[in-house]
Amino acid sequence: MVTSAFRLIPQYHARVWGGQRLQAADQPVGEAWIVFEDDVIADGPHAGRTLGALAAVEGQSLLGRRPLRRTGLRMPLLIKLLDCQDWLSVQVHPNDEQAIVLEGQGQFGKTEAWHILEAQPASEIIVGMAPGVSAEALARAVRGAADGSLPGRVGLLPLMHSVPAAAGDTFFIRAGTLHALGPGLLLYEVQQTSDITYRVWDWDRPAKAGRDLHVDKSLAVIDHALTGRAEPVRPEATPGVHALTACEYFELQKLDASGGALALHTRGESFHAVTALSGSVTVAGEGWSLALGLFETAFVPAAVAAYAVTGGQALCAFVP
């Protein structure tokens, strides 16, 4: 049984749209995978093992009863930080049933949520379709943007719904929602344990390996009725536990311990992933304590049960 929390070593991924805020590197870094089944455990008795390998052995004591029912011994969530210096591709993700049909058994869909950490004054995101867009009009625009017969900025962009994005905003993106992240954003993303992405349009960037368009699969999974859900922004100065968004796959809370220690409990139902939003967050339980730097994550196993967060602000994700 795993009886103490531990840190994970993130995996960093270069992206054409990335920047330098997550890691200084020759190539722009767009993503840090901070909770992922292949992340290596940084400290404690299980240091050097991957999270997935530990889950295969510890099962319920690590993951909790709810994840075990939903995804078995698989890590049920993938959590990332994204540094967006340019537009990400316009894209869409399948739901669970579509993922199996299109990608095979054992695949999961990708419903996700974004919590904006930093934004430029003009930052925006694309979330869903503009009202009244028919399937036929969308198909013409998508195929035209792909083959060059109808430029994406002319045919596709006017069909999409865009909204401003500011620090503190939370957006819920159901699988099937056409979406894109805009320049200037630094954000936290929690999603199902899937990285299936169907790229619809890549802003006319030169074609590169690994950035193919997925026209037919995209059109098969886009749900015209879906738009992103913007959650209320919680006051930054209010201490306590604030719900940001929730669905059947995950729940995301903001923890503000500036007014004193916050007592939390897994109840054995699900692990908690606590990511520091400041450099002075401590996560502690019976016989253990972790001091987290900015954007470091403490993985709190379900068997830990009671623990406390002190210091500054953090995000907490778990399976509801």
- DSSP labels, 83-146: EESSPPPEEE---HHHHHHHH-TT-----EEEEEEE--TT-EEEEEEPTT--HHHHHHHHHHHH
Backbone phi, psi, residue 278, to 5°: -145, 170
What does the pLDDT look like over 216-274, one tens digit per residue? 999 999 998 888 877 766 656 689 999 999 999 999 999 999 999 999 999 999 999 99
pTM higher than the cut 0.85 = yes
66 is catalytic: no
What residues contact residue 277 under an 8 Å CB cut-off, 6+ apart? 117, 294, 295, 312, 313, 314, 315
Rounded to whole angstroms, the Cα distance separating 258 from 276 reads 13
Instruction: Select from 309, 287, 217 the least CA-distant residue to 297.
Output: 309
The H or E element containing residue 272 is: strand 272-276
Please pick, among 199, 205, 229, 234, the residue that the annotation labels catalytic: 199
Q: What is the pLDDT of residue 279?
A: 80
Contact 283, 298 (CB under 8 A): yes
Q: What is the rounded CA–CA span in Å between residue 173 and residue 157?
A: 19
Convert the pLDDT of each residue in 167-217 to its tens digit: 999 999 999 999 999 999 999 999 999 989 999 999 999 877 678 999 999
Give residue for tokens 């867009």. Answer: 133
The mean per-residue pLDDT over the stretch 262-288 comes to 96
